[in-house]
Structure 1
Amino acid sequence: MTRSVSIIGTRGYPSYYGGFETLVRVLAPYLAQHGWDVTVYGRPEGVASEDPAIDSRVRSVITRGVETKSLSTLSYGLTSSVHSAIERPDVALVMNVANGFWLPLLKARGVPTLVNVDGIEWEREKWGRAAKSVFKVGGSLTARFATDLVYDSVELGKRWEARCGRSGVFIPYGGAVRQRGDVVEGLSRRTYALMVARFVPENTIDQFLDAARILSRKWQVVIVGSSGYGGEIDDRVAQLERECPKVTWFGHVSNDDMLFSLWENAGAYFHGHSVGGTNPALVQAMACGAPVVARDTVYNREVLGDHAVFVQPNAPAIADAIEELMTDAERQEMLSGGAADRAQDIYTWDRVCAAYDTALSQYVDKVVPAAPLHCARNGRSLNSA
Structure 2
Amino acid sequence: MKIGILGTRGIPNHHGGFEQFAEFFAVHAQTEGHDVFVYNSHNHPYQEKKYKDVTLIHCYDPENKIGTVGQFIYDLNCIKDARKRNFDIILQLGYTSSSVWGRFLPKKATIVTNMDGLEWKRSKYSKKVQKFLMYAEKWAIKTSDYLISDSIGIQDYIKTKYDVTSKFIAYGSSIFSPSNEKIIANYDLIPNEYFVLIARMEPENNIEMILDGFVKSNSKKTFCVVGNAETTIFGRYLKEKFSKNKNIRFIGAVYDLNFLNHLRCYCQLYFHGHSVGGTNPSLLEAMGSRALIAAHKNVFNKAILEEDAFYFKSVDEVSNLMISINKQDNLIKIENNISKIREKYNWPIINEQYLDYLIQCRNDQHN
C-alpha contact (below 8 Å) 1:17/1:46 kept by paired residues? no
C-alpha contact (below 8 Å) 2:173/2:281 kept by paired residues? yes
* Number of residue-to-residue matches in the alignment: 359
> Residue 354 of structure 2 is aligned with which of 335, 353, 356?
356
Look up the SS of the partner of 2:124 in the other structure.
Answer: coil
Within a 5 Å distance, the mapping from 1:7-22 to structure 2 comes to 7-22=5-20
Distance 1:317 1:74 in 2: 40
C-alpha change, 1:83 and 1:290, in structure 2 (3 Å) is same
- 1:239-286 CA distances to partner (integer Å, 9 max, x unpaired)? 52x422222221100111111111111110011111101110000100
Cross-structure match for 1:46: 44
C-alpha contact (below 8 Å) 1:290/1:339 kept by paired residues? no
Look up the SS of the partner of 1:329 in the other structure.
Answer: helix
C-alpha change, 1:181 and 1:216, in structure 2 (3 Å) is farther
Q: Choose 269-278 or 181-190, whichever is displaced more.
A: 181-190
Cross-structure match for 2:56: 60
Distance 1:217 1:339 in 2: 27
With the length of structure 2 as denominator, give the TM-score of the two structures.
Answer: 0.92
C-alpha contact (below 8 Å) 1:119/1:276 kept by paired residues? yes
Look up the SS of the partner of 1:150 in the other structure.
Answer: strand
Cross-structure match for 1:36: 34
Look up the SS of the partner of 1:319 in the other structure.
Answer: helix
Give the letter for the 2:346 counterpart. Answer: T
Distance 1:49 1:216 in 2: 47
C-alpha change, 1:161 and 1:365, in structure 2 (3 Å) is closer
Distance 1:79 1:63 in 2: 6
Give the letter for the 1:168 counterpart. Answer: S
Kindly indicate whether residue 280 of structure 2 is the aligned counterpart of residue 279 of structure 1: yes
Look up the SS of the partner of 1:213 in the other structure.
Answer: helix
- 1:208-256 CA distances to partner (integer Å, 9 max, x unpaired)? 121232346421111111256232433422552x422222221100111
> Residue 119 of structure 2 is aligned with which of 97, 102, 121?
121
Q: Choose 172-181 or 66-75, whichever is displaced more.
A: 66-75
> Residue 138 of structure 2 is aligned with which of 124, 137, 140?
140
Distance 2:154 2:365 in 1: 31
> Residue 149 of structure 2 is aligned with which of 148, 151, 164?
151
Distance 2:90 2:230 in 1: 28
Cross-structure match for 2:253: 252
Give the CA deviation at 1:50: 7.4
C-alpha contact (below 8 Å) 1:152/1:277 kept by paired residues? yes
Distance 2:8 2:131 in 1: 21
C-alpha contact (below 8 Å) 2:219/2:323 kept by paired residues? no
C-alpha contact (below 8 Å) 1:216/1:244 kept by paired residues? no
Cross-structure match for 2:102: 103
Cross-structure match for 2:312: 311
Distance 1:77 1:258 in 2: 32
Distance 1:340 1:328 in 2: 15
Give the letter for the 2:360 counterpart. Answer: Q
Cross-structure match for 1:204: 206
Look up the SS of the partner of 1:245 in the other structure.
Answer: coil
Aligned residues: CA RMSD: 2.0
- 1:173-211 CA distances to partner (integer Å, 9 max, x unpaired)? 111223213231211222211111111010001111212
> Residue 336 of structure 1 is aligned with which of 310, 334, 337?
334
Give the CA deviation at 1:328: 5.2
Give the letter for the 2:27 counterpart. Answer: P
C-alpha change, 1:217 and 1:50, in structure 2 (3 Å) is farther
Look up the SS of the partner of 2:275 in the other structure.
Answer: coil
C-alpha contact (below 8 Å) 1:15/1:47 kept by paired residues? no
> Residue 165 of structure 1 is aligned with which of 133, 157, 163?
163
C-alpha contact (below 8 Å) 2:213/2:315 kept by paired residues? yes
Kindly indicate whether residue 114 of structure 2 is the aligned counterpart of residue 112 of structure 1: no
Cross-structure match for 1:218: 220
Kindly indicate whether residue 71 of structure 2 is the aligned counterpart of residue 86 of structure 1: no
Distance 2:103 2:162 in 1: 18
Look up the SS of the partner of 2:35 in the other structure.
Answer: strand
With the length of structure 1 as denominator, give the TM-score of the two structures.
Answer: 0.88
Give the CA deviation at 1:366: 6.4
Give the letter for the 2:275 counterpart. Answer: S
C-alpha contact (below 8 Å) 2:62/2:74 kept by paired residues? yes
Cross-structure match for 2:191: 189
C-alpha contact (below 8 Å) 1:161/1:167 kept by paired residues? yes
C-alpha contact (below 8 Å) 1:14/1:49 kept by paired residues? no
Structure 1 stretches lacking a partner, 5+ long? 369-385
C-alpha contact (below 8 Å) 2:178/2:262 kept by paired residues? yes
Distance 2:24 2:249 in 1: 30
Structure 2 stretches lacking a partner, 5+ long? none
Give the CA deviation at 1:25: 1.4
Kindly indicate whether residue 330 of structure 2 is the aligned counterpart of residue 320 of structure 1: no
Look up the SS of the partner of 1:87 in the other structure.
Answer: coil
C-alpha change, 1:318 and 1:6, in structure 2 (3 Å) is same
